[in-house]
Amino acid sequence: MNVCTSFEDALKKFDAENHTEKLATSETGDYIYSIHLLISDGSLDGEVFNAYIYTYDGKGLEFLPDLQPSNIYGRFTVDSKVNYETFVNRLLEESDVTSTPLELVLSPLFNGKETIYRIVDTQLLF
């Protein structure tokens, strides 16, 4: 599995109301962050998956408003290059898509505009 996203490109501000990445702030005035990874693997025949891990106000997001999904967790904030690399390395180490279906690691959620793949095993986060 390859993660094809740099740290600089991965951390983006996310506007939960419009479901778009932009410079928008939450009601507390703090940013809502979306960690965006592009994931690909040989077993996927060149297909690239989008993986979003959400954090809210730097504390973690238990549920993304308006999407009404179940069990979207972002217990840890990926807010520095060190943490980002730790997360990516842990994801790669624990995600053997040749023996474990990718869906067991990333769970799809369609929000009306795009499919978001969310981490379903929070133990993968550090």
**pLDDT of the residue at 45:** 55
Note whether 3 and 41 are within 8 A (CB): no
pLDDT tier at 71, thresholds 50, 70, 90 = very low
Residue 40 — pLDDT band, cuts 50, 70, 90?
Answer: low
Helix, strand, coil fractions of the chain, as percent rounded to 5? 20, 35, 45
More confident residue, 13 or 68: 13
pLDDT, tens only, 94-112: 555 444 444 334 444 455 5
Of the chain, the percentage scoring pLDDT greater than 70 comes to 0
Q: State the Cα–Cα distance between residues 91 and 94, nearest whole angstrom.
A: 5
Query: Count of domains in the chain?
Result: 1
pTM of the predicted protein model: 0.32
Torsion of CA 69, 13, 38, 6, to 10 degrees: -150
